[in-house]
Amino acid sequence: MTLFDVYPLNNISIKKAKGSYVWDENGVQYLDMYGGHAVISIGHTHSHWVKRIEDQLEKIAFYSNSIIIPIQQELAAKLGKLSGKESYQLFLCNSGAEANENALKLASFYNGRKKIIAFHKAFHGRTSLAVAATDNKAIVAPVNETENVIFLPFNEEAALKECFAKYGHEISSVIIEGIQGVGGINIANDSFLQLIRQQCDTYGAVYIADSVQCGYGRSGQFFSHDHAGVNADIYTMAKGMGNGFPVAGILIAPQIQAKHGMLGTTFGGNQLACAAALAVLEVMEEEQLMKAAEENGKYLISRLQSIESLQNVRGRGLMIGFDVPEELKGLKKKLLFDFKIFTGEAKPNVIRLLPSLAVSRKQIDDFLSSLEEAISEIKAEISMVKA
């Protein structure tokens, strides 16, 4: 049997990982400034995370949601404390797309409406409604097409007001990333998120904060939407939540009440996933990783801004992007293959940095020196070709 070939692969096979480093099958070390796609929050194979999963595995890995699972309640309490959303309710599932599916569906159950507002360059996942609310026609299959999703320009307040004025009481929810990830690291303005809150209140719509990539402390606040100082009705979470163990969830404001059978999943909230998620929160608290993300992010952004060849350096905390000018278009590959550094990308020309929140100053400095060297080498290669 062959694998279904949907991923363009780099010819590298990782055998081992620790902290912000990974090693390939030949023992070559790589610095991971990509966090395995924003997933590695507390560092690869963190010893506390490994131990908590191992201990849980010895007890019980899975039993269905037909019984009381105390570790789910433990997770909800810890999550409430660290996120500051103690009055919210937790529903656990397995992936970012599933979290967004549940959020959009729950909003529709709540207000009985169908229309969803999403934004240009948004990415919310690859399933049913999540992909319909994703601004990329290439990944929307005919069966996913719906007239219920209205796409508006990101950060354009007049367009949002106009849409609410036109469709007001038909709008079920507004879904927005606090910082667009796949779309290229675009930060939602605080005033834009405040306006979403206000319009949702006025028209009875649900504000959904897609925090799958930008949440879980990555921006220096628990949810990047928190920078705006207003609460969403539903927060969706996944990537950093399990540090690589598949676990996701949604936080639901108290006014949205549960009914038996409204949402459900077989695997969501299993004991092993909860142990992994609790380990992440415990390490985040113990090692003060949100504060580290904020401080190291500020440092990294300001150092990147001083590199002349990079354009439009932007981000919050450890969710950072910059535009790579056409002449340096080989930069990402050069960093990977010549300097052994993983980075992320966003089409057409953005390099995305999404390291573990525990990345050290020394690792950031090493990255910056390699980046400058890589840029100089590309420039030297261009001059040689011209000469």
Ligand X SMILES: Cc1ncc(COP(=O)(O)O)c(C=O)c1O
Residues forming contacts to ligand X in the complex (CB under 6 A) are 95-97, 100, 123-125, 177, 181-182, 210, 212-213, 238
User: Of 314 and 334, which has the nearer Cβ to ligand X?
Assistant: 314
| Least distance (Å) between residue 351 CB and ligand X | 16
| Least distance (Å) between residue 119 CB and ligand X | 11
Backbone angles phi, psi at 6, to 5 degrees: -105, -10
| Least distance (Å) between residue 34 CB and ligand X | 12
The span from the CA of 127 to the CA of 343, in Å, is 26
User: Of 44 and 124, which has the nearer Cβ to ligand X?
Assistant: 124
User: Of 108 and 180, which has the nearer Cβ to ligand X?
Assistant: 180
Q: Could you tell me where the DSSP H helices lie in the chain?
A: 35-38, 47-59, 70-83, 96-111, 128-132, 157-167, 190-203, 271-286, 289-305, 331-337, 361-386
Reading the block at residue 165, the tokens are: 């004025």
User: Of 181 and 355, which has the nearer Cβ to ligand X?
Assistant: 181
**For tokens 């306006």, what's the residue?**
195
Q: Give the strand pairing for 206-210 and 171-177.
A: parallel
User: Of 96 and 268, which has the nearer Cβ to ligand X?
Assistant: 96
| Least distance (Å) between residue 134 CB and ligand X | 8
Vertex 239 angle, CA 225 and 273, to 5°: 120
The distance of Cα 298 from the centroid of its chain, to the nearest Å, equals 19
User: Of 210 and 294, which has the nearer Cβ to ligand X?
Assistant: 210
| Least distance (Å) between residue 308 CB and ligand X | 30
The span from the CA of 118 to the CA of 122, in Å, is 7
User: Of 98 and 328, which has the nearer Cβ to ligand X?
Assistant: 98
User: Of 210 and 323, which has the nearer Cβ to ligand X?
Assistant: 210
Q: Rounded to a whole number, what is the distance in angstroms from the first to the last CA of the chain?
A: 51
Closest CA to 215 of 234, 202, 196: 234
**For tokens 């150092």, what's the residue?**
303
The span from the CA of 90 to the CA of 225, in Å, is 18
Q: Could you tell me where the DSSP H helices lie in 338-360?
A: none
Nearest-CB residue to ligand X? 96
For the sheet with 350-353, list strands across it.
311-316, 319-323, 350-353, 344-346
| Least distance (Å) between residue 263 CB and ligand X | 16
Do residues 344 and 335 make contact, with C-beta atoms less than 8 angstroms apart?
no
User: Of 95 and 363, which has the nearer Cβ to ligand X?
Assistant: 95
| Least distance (Å) between residue 129 CB and ligand X | 12
Do residues 31 and 341 make contact, with C-beta atoms less than 8 angstroms apart?
yes
| Least distance (Å) between residue 11 CB and ligand X | 23
Q: What is the DSSP letter of 113?
A: -
| Least distance (Å) between residue 124 CB and ligand X | 5
